[in-house]
Structure 1
Amino acid sequence: MSKKEIVVIGAGVVGLTTAVKILEEGGHHVTIIADVFPSDPKTIRYTSLWAGAHHVSHAEGDAKQQALDQETFKVMWDLSAPGAEAEGCFLRLPQTDYFYDGRDVHLDWMPDHKSLPTESLIPDAKTGITFTTLTIDTPAYCNYLLSRFLGKGGTIVRGTVQHINQIAEGGPHVFSSPGRAGKSSVDAIIVCAGLGARTLGGVEDKDVFPVRGQVVMLRAPWIKFGRTASHAASGLWTYIIPRRSGDVIVGGTKLDNDWYPIARPSTTTAILERALALCPELASPEIRAERKGVVDDLRPLILEEGCGFRPARKGGVRIEAETLKINGREVPIIHNYGHGGGGFQSSWGTASIAFDLLTKSLTPNN
């Protein structure tokens, strides 16, 4: 199959991963068009940098989702290996998850997976598991993906796509070099627009909605383990996610259709209270040597507080192909969005499916 001109809309973790996959395995020329890139200052318009993030699958018996998460974990585990090119983006560590609602969660495909005995549970938790996983330094990792993409010959264009027809007709340079618009045709468009799929012309998926997540970043290099406690019924979700850098992300919230773009001080306090109750070790070793830590002991450790809009979708991730007819041509459109809070955990798995759909769409006499 001859080299094709592929455009990916969106430069979040899903768009970057998909673009790398297509570039490296498909041999096509790939351009990412986005209005924000991971090297830009943090903004509410770019969710990926606000993520924790750790690889903890929430498939809970969904075989399709588990397959996506497993494939992604394998890729990330290899990338995080000692001496690997992206080792510095990850921290391998022991993880403990507690469930107040008694869910019987099994992640037996994760390294060192064990169910916790009742006597090892925290107060009010009914079940729990431990396993080995990795955490992701999201700014470092997204910039790694971007540099890997550029290093393999990928192209980036900064632009706000209002309608997919703009790219289908004008080509990859419609925003960067108007004089070249229309002089090189696009063979396929990959929509990895995240929350933007809600308003992107030609897509306008009203099933897409934000799930607001507020987090606090602490400087606590003594924390070398992950810990999570969740109660699905109430929406409470407390997590401790340390990074290789020594920074620790604590959270969080899950608020559907909450569009408030900055951290709420009252929520920050509530997060710190829950985090300290779950993980007393957040207080510095010096403080714990003298007394029990309190929330005010954590405030001097705060580096940043903020929030992101997880790009969720009713019905789950949309990964499918369709055809756009424009000016007598048929342009394949591959959709890959709606990951919610699982973008990092399933990014390589969904990229593989998007790549397979693209290959099939570009195959003559398909």
Structure 2
Amino acid sequence: MHNVAIIGCGIIGLTTATVLQNEFKSTMKITIFTEKLTPNTTSDIAAGLWGPYSVLDTKLEKIQKWGKASHDYFLQLWKSGLADEAGITLQHVKALSTSDVTDTADRDKIVFGFEKIPSHEIQKLGAQHNKNYKVGYNYVTFTCEPQIHLPYLQKKFISNGGVIIVRKIDNIHELSDYDLVINCTGLNAKELCNDDQVVPIRGQIAKVRAPWQFHSLFSDSNYTIPNCNHVVVGGTTQLGDWETNPREIDTKNILSGVYNTIPSLQHGPILYHKVGLRPGRSQTRLELEMQKVREKQLPVVHNYGHGGAGVTFSYGCALDALELVKEVIGTSHKSKL
């Protein structure tokens, strides 16, 4: 029996835990240590639209690999009849930009029906929104709504014998009695690992009741993303900003921006404003480290620094974390979804 500890119970920690359970079954006991549980994690604030946002200098090949693996996983859930329970929806996205410098190589071969919007339609939309759009794209992709998906994963994890302990871990060496530790602490890795490359990327959003809104719209920094019971509107991408309270100026910019592009949202009541600090890092850290604890070598798999792509990278990074765990354990098993 392999005794494994995971630190963190957001989308990365829970996805990694369930992937390991699926692989090792009863031969592995997994305990998650966490300060917060859903619905109070950073992941719960996210709208969950698939897309590699705010990933800083993470290499393109990793973005594509992890993003595609997660997209394929969401497709399997959607096809299997578990979409409602798991918080998976498929929706149209329209992305518009006033800059003509756009990089679509991270998504155009992964999402469905990716196409560049014709110039005459771009001009028409620009006139409607009073913006000088240069380029735009249509495509279809998934939302994996964390406020639904996290409880789904947590229930699955516990039903398969997993244990969750609400406790802050200040030093990985506190878990030296375990055979292996997996670090999924997000922004907290800055302190836990003394990692100066970890940086907050502040995101402020509002959630609006607008059941008539069924497609996502991006207009530069403003976005509208429907979820199951509300619509998420945003947003900000403020690097190095630790402020967790909503700012009035950001609220004004968010609402004026989305009301300009979708005027009907003015008629939807605002449920609340929220701020989340995305766990940014120069590059997502996914690697095995051997830490010496007294006379023991403690294997630690680091899986953090996903920026605004926690949902987008979750399953893909969990699969790579699994391979690192196999290196430590020195065995492999057949896996199925």
Is 1:343 the counterpart of 2:310? The answer is yes
In 1, the alpha carbon distance for the partners of 2:274 and 2:294 equals 45
Q: Structure 1 residues 265 and 82 mapped into 2: Cα distance closer, same or farther (>3 Å)?
A: farther
Largest Rg, 1 or 2? 1
Q: RCO higher in 1 or 2 (8 Å CA, sep ≥ 6)? A: 2
TM value normalised by structure 1 = 0.82
Tell me which residue corresponds to 1:293: none
Tell me which residue corresponds to 2:165: 157
SS where residue 79 of structure 2 aligns? coil
Q: Structure 1 residues 4 and 343 mapped into 2: Cα distance closer, same or farther (>3 Å)?
A: same
**Partner AA of 2:216 in structure 1:** G
Matches for 1:1-366 after TM superposition, within 5 Å = 3-27=1-25, 28-39=28-39, 42=40, 46-58=41-53, 62-81=60-79, 83-84=81-82, 86-87=84-85, 89-102=87-100, 103-106=102-105, 107-121=108-122, 122-123=125-126, 124-168=132-176, 185-200=177-192, 203-230=193-220, 237-245=221-229, 247-284=230-267, 301-314=269-282, 316-363=283-330
Q: Which runs of 5+ in 2 are unaligned?
A: 127-131, 332-337
> Where do 4+ consecutive residues of structure 1 move more than 6 Å?
none
In 2, the alpha carbon distance for the partners of 1:9 and 1:88 equals 23
Q: Which runs of 5+ in 1 are unaligned?
A: 169-184, 231-236, 285-297
C-alpha contact 1:55 1:133 (8 A) present in aligned 2: yes
C-alpha contact 1:47 1:308 (8 A) present in aligned 2: yes
Deviation larger for 333-342 or 77-86: 77-86
In 1, the alpha carbon distance for the partners of 2:197 and 2:254 equals 29
**Partner AA of 1:325 in structure 2:** K
C-alpha contact 2:91 2:141 (8 A) present in aligned 1: yes
In 1, the alpha carbon distance for the partners of 2:12 and 2:233 equals 23
C-alpha contact 1:33 1:156 (8 A) present in aligned 2: yes
SS where residue 182 of structure 2 aligns? strand
C-alpha contact 1:80 1:89 (8 A) present in aligned 2: no
C-alpha contact 1:92 1:133 (8 A) present in aligned 2: yes
In 2, the alpha carbon distance for the partners of 1:165 and 1:158 equals 17
**Partner AA of 1:53 in structure 2:** G
Q: What's the CA shift string for 1:188-235, capped at 9, x where partnerless?
A: 0000010010111xx2111101011000000000000011122xxxxx
In 2, the alpha carbon distance for the partners of 1:357 and 1:162 equals 24
C-alpha contact 1:325 1:331 (8 A) present in aligned 2: yes
C-alpha contact 2:71 2:110 (8 A) present in aligned 1: no
Cα shift at 1:88? 5.4
Query: Identity rate of aligned residues, in percent?
Result: 28
Q: Structure 1 residues 332 and 263 mapped into 2: Cα distance closer, same or farther (>3 Å)?
A: same
C-alpha contact 2:83 2:89 (8 A) present in aligned 1: no
Cα shift at 1:31? 0.7
SS where residue 81 of structure 1 aligns? helix
Cα shift at 1:269? 1.6
TM value normalised by structure 2 = 0.89
Cα shift at 1:87? 4.6
Q: Structure 1 residues 206 and 92 mapped into 2: Cα distance closer, same or farther (>3 Å)?
A: same
**Partner AA of 1:118 in structure 2:** S
Q: Structure 1 residues 189 and 217 mapped into 2: Cα distance closer, same or farther (>3 Å)?
A: same
In 1, the alpha carbon distance for the partners of 2:327 and 2:84 equals 31
In 1, the alpha carbon distance for the partners of 2:47 and 2:83 equals 21
**Equivalent pairs, count:** 316
SS where residue 142 of structure 1 aligns? helix
In 2, the alpha carbon distance for the partners of 1:82 and 1:358 equals 28
Q: C-alpha root-mean-square deviation of aligned residues, in Å?
A: 1.8
